[in-house]
Amino acid sequence: INLSRGFVADLGALKQHLDSGHLSGAAVDVFPVEPKKSGDPFETALANEDNMILTPHIGGSTLEAQESIG
């Protein structure tokens, strides 16, 4: 699971390990390049992987996270 910064995880290596079966699944909430505004395209090589959970940078959108931010 990557909930930090998009550049932290090597998504190419992640895809390679998913495709090889070395990893059975993954979840990613941040990406190296994210759409700037609604309607902008979102592109990632991971989009068509059956064993992926992709969320739109919402990991910090919980009440607990917002309280921690202050």
Catalytic residue IDs = 5, 34, 57
Q: How far apart are CA 24 and CA 34, in angstroms?
A: 25
